[in-house]
Structure formats: C-alpha cells, structure tokens
Amino acid sequence: MNILIDQTEDELRAEIDFWTKFVNEWKNFRDEPVHPRAFEALERVESRLEYVLIDQNRQAEGRGSSPLLH
C-alpha cells in the first residue's frame, strides 16, 4: 500500500493546530457535542504527520525514503 503525502511537516503541524483549535472552540462555545468528523480529521492529519516523521528518520539514518510513501 502506497501513501501519498504531499504536505510538509510544517503544513501538517499547522493543520493539526487548526483542527485542535476548532475542536476546543466548539467545546467552549456550543451547547452540543463536537461533531465526530472533526475528531476524525484530526486523527487523519496526526497519522499523516507520523508517516512523514518516520520517513524523515529513515532518511536521516541513511536508509532512504519509506516505500510506503511512494
């Protein structure tokens, strides 16, 4: 299974920050539960970031890019 991640670490961290703020603001300003899709979106971005960091570590160790990302 190949996973295409065309976002940089900084872009992924910014997206995580966006979804985290979105969830927190929802909790603070609405009288209803946070929509489950917001949590799903946050989990997907965190997962993509994990793959990017694993790939960076592989490259730093001289093992090349992860075959999962190509």
When pLDDT is cut at 50, 70 and 90, the band that residue 3 belongs to is low
Residue 1 has pLDDT above 50, yes or no: no
Whole-number pLDDT of residue 55:
87
- Distances 43 to 47, 58, 60 between C-alpha atoms, Å: 6, 23, 26
Task: Give pLDDT tens digits for 14-68.
Answer: 999 999 999 999 999 999 999 999 999 999 999 999 999 998 888 888 877 765 5
When pLDDT is cut at 50, 70 and 90, the band that residue 7 belongs to is confident
